[in-house]
C-alpha cells in the first residue's frame, strides 16, 4: 500500500510521511510527478502543492468547465508558455486575466530579451537613465516595451475597419485581438492561443495595461468595448455548466480582478435561479503569496472565507497554496506532463468547447 494511503488505526487520520530522496527505476522520467504525489503526505505548503496537483488531475479527468485566473507579473517572469501549454491541452476552458499578462507575453515573441539583475543592489536611477524597466529581479528595454505598446495600435485600427457594429463585447474583442496576433506570427501569445482553441478570454480591466497605450496612439478607433456584456456572457457560460454531472472548477494564479470575476459569477447564477442554494465552483485551487489577515480578496482562502459568499462549495476540493508562482507553476505543469504524457489532450475538451462557442456567439 502506498504511504500516502496509510491511516492510523487508532485515530483514523492519514499519516504524515517523512520526505526522502527517491531513486526508483520504475519511475524513471517521471520524477516531478512522483515527487508531487509524495509531497501530498508531507507538511505545510509542500503538502498543499501536492494536494493541488491531485485536485488539478481530478479536474482534468472530469467533465467540469475549468476556469483560470491570471494575476501578478506572470508573463514578464516567463511563465506565459506554460499558460499557453495548458490551453493547448484542454486543461483550461476559460481564462480571466489582467491586461499586462496578455500583452507582455508579446515582448519575447517580438525579439526582446529580459535580463536578470540583483534586486538588492540594483540602482533604479541608473536603470532609468539606461532606459530599462524593472520587474523586481529582471529588466527589459524601455524602447522595446514602448514599441510593443505601440504595435497594439495596429490592432485597434484593423478592428475599426472590420467591425461594423458600434460596440463589441470584451470577450469578442480579445478573441479578435488573438486572431490578429496569430496573423502577425505571434501565435504563441496567450490571447492567440485562446482564440485558436476556442477558449474565451476575459480581461475586465483591459485599459489597465499596454492596450491602453495602443488605443491612445491608434489613428482609427472603434468599436466601443462593452465590458458589462462580458459579465452576461460569463454568467451564461457558468449557468450552462453549473449542473449535476458537469460543474465548474477554478484555478487562480494570484488573485485580483481575475479571481473576483470568476468567483462572483457563482453568486450571480444563484441569484438568477432564485435559489438560496449556492451555485458554487465544485473545486478550486489558488496559488498566491497574499496574506489572508489583511482582508483583501487575493488572500481570501478558497477553502474557507470564499465559502461564506457561496463562491466555493463547502464540499468541494478546495486547496489554498501559499507559494511563489514561479516555483509552483513549473512544477505542476511538469508533473502534469509526466503524468499524462506528451501527446495528451483532455477528453472533455471538444464537448466543452462546442458548448462555450454556442454561448459566446
As a whole number of angstroms, the distance between CA 132 and CA 120 comes to: 17
Give the pLDDT score at 190.
98
Active-site choice (48, 221, 259, 311): 311
**Residues contacting 85, CB < 8 A, separation 6+:** 333
Q: What is the pLDDT of residue 30?
A: 57
Residue 3's pLDDT band (boundaries 50, 70, 90)? Answer: very low
Handedness of CA 285, 287, 291, 296 (dihedral sign): negative
Beta-carbon contacts of 359 under 8 Å, excluding residues fewer than 6 positions away, are 233, 236, 237, 240
Which among 63, 57, 60, 62 is positioned nearest to 352, based on CA atoms?
63
Q: What confidence category does residue 228 fall into, taking pLDDT thresholds of 50, 70 and 90?
A: very high
Domain ranges of the chain: 59-99+166-208+224-325+353-360
Read off the pLDDT of residues 169-225 as tens digits, 9 standing for 90 and up.
999 999 999 999 999 999 999 999 999 999 999 999 999 999 999 999 999 999 999
What class, spelled out in words, does domain 59-99+166-208+224-325+353-360 have in CATH?
alpha beta
In the predicted structure, residue 131 carries a pLDDT above the cut 90: yes
Average pLDDT of the residues in 224-234: 95
User: Taking residues 97-104, what's their average pLDDT?
Assistant: 98
Cα separation, 132 vs 129, in Å, equals 8
Count CB-CB contacts under 10 A for residue 262: 25
pLDDT score at 2: 46
Quickly count: other Cβ atoms within 10 Å of residue 112's Cβ: 16
Mean pLDDT of 142-148: 98
**pLDDT digit string (tens) for 330-343?**
999 999 999 999 99
- CB-count burial class (<10 Å; 0-12, 13-18, 19+) for 214: buried
26 burial (CB, 10 Å; 0-12 / 13-18 / 19+) is: exposed
Residue pLDDT, tens place only, 269-288: 888 887 656 568 889 999 99
Q: What is the DSSP string of 59-120?
A: HHHS-SEEEEEE-SSTTTTT-HHHHHHHHHTTS-SEEEE-TGGGTTTHHHHTT--EEE--TT
User: SS3 of 234, please?
Assistant: helix
Separation of alpha carbons 48 and 327, rounded Å: 13
Grid look-up 515582448 returns 107
Per-residue pLDDT of 63-82, as tens digits, reads: 999 999 999 999 999 999 99
Alpha helix ranges (H) inside the chain = 31-39, 44-61, 80-88, 106-109, 124-129, 142-151, 153-162, 170-183, 190-196, 210-217, 227-241, 256-273, 325-340, 349-360
Query: How far is Cα of residue 68 from the mean position of the Cα atoms in its chain?
Result: 4
Q: Respond yes or no on whether the N-terminal peptide bond of residue 272 is cis (omega within 30° of 0).
A: no
Quick: pLDDT tens for 278-326: 568 889 999 999 988 888 888 888 888 888 888 888 888 999 999 999 9
CA distance 61 to 53: 12
In contact, 190 and 69? CB cutoff 8 Å: no
Q: According to the model, what pLDDT value does residue 4 have?
A: 43
The span from the first CA to the last CA of the chain, in angstroms, equals 50
- Does the active-site annotation cover 311? yes
Residues 163-169 have a mean pLDDT of 97
Least confident of 27-31, 113-117, 174-178, 224-228: 27-31
Amino acid at each position: 500500500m502506498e504511504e500516502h494511503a496509510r491511516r492510523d488505526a487508532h485515530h483514523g487520520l492519514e499519516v504524515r510521511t517523512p520526505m526522502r530522496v527517491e531513486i526508483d527505476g520504475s519511475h524513471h522520467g517521471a520524477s516531478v510527478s512522483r515527487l508531487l504525489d509524495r509531497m501530498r503526505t508531507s507538511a505545510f505548503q509542500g503538502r498543499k502543492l501536492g494536494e493541488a496537483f491531485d485536485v488539478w488531475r481530478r479536474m482534468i479527468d472530469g467533465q467540469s468547465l475549468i476556469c483560470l485566473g491570471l494575476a501578478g507579473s506572470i508573463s514578464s517572469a516567463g511563465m506565459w508558455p506554460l499558460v499557453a501549454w495548458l490551453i493547448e491541452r484542454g486543461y483550461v476552458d476559460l481564462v480571466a486575466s489582467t491586461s499586462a499578462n496578455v500583452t507582455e507575453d508579446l515582448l519575447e515573441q517580438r525579439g526582446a530579451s529580459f535580463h536578470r539583475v540583483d534586486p538588492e543592489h540594483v540602482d533604479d536611477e541608473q536603470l532609468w537613465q539606461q532606459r530599462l524597466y524593472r520587474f523586481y529581479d529582471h529588466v527589459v528595454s524601455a524602447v522595446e516595451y514602448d514599441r510593443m505598446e505601440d504595435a497594439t495600435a495596429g490592432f485597434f485600427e484593423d478592428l475599426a475597419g472590420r467591425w461594423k457594429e458600434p460596440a463589441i463585447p470584451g470577450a469578442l474583442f480579445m478573441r479578435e485581438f488573438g486572431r490578429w496576433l496569430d496573423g502577425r506570427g505571434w501565435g504563441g501569445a496567450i490571447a492567440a492561443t485562446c482564440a485558436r482553441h476556442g477558449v474565451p478570454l476575459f480581461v475586465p480591466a483591459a485599459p489597465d495595461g499596454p492596450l491602453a497605450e495602443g488605443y491612445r496612439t491608434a489613428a482609427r478607433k472603434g468599436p466601443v468595448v462593452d465590458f458589462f456584456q462580458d459579465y452576461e456572457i460569463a454568467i451564461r457560460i457558468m449557468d450552462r455548466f453549473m449542473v449535476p454531472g458537469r460543474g465548474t472548477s477554478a484555478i487562480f494564479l494570484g488573485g485580483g480582478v481575475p479571481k473576483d470575476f470568476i468567483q462572483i459569477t457563482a453568486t450571480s447564477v444563484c441569484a438568477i435561479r432564485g435559489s438560496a442554494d449556492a451555485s458554487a465552483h465544485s473545486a478550486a485551487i489558488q496559488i498566491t503569496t497574499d496574506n489572508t489577515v489583511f482582508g483583501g480578496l487575493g488572500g481570501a482562502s478558497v477553502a474557507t472565507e470564499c465559502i461564506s459568499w457561496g463562491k466555493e462549495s463547502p464540499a468541494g476540493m478546495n486547496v489554498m497554496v501559499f507559494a511563489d508562482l514561479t516555483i509552483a507553476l513549473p512544477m505542476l505543469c511538469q508533473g502534469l506532463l509526466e503524468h499524462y504524457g506528451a501527446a495528451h489532450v483532455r477528453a472533455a475538451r471538444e464537448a466543452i468547447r462546442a458548448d462555450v462557442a454556442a454561448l459566446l456567439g
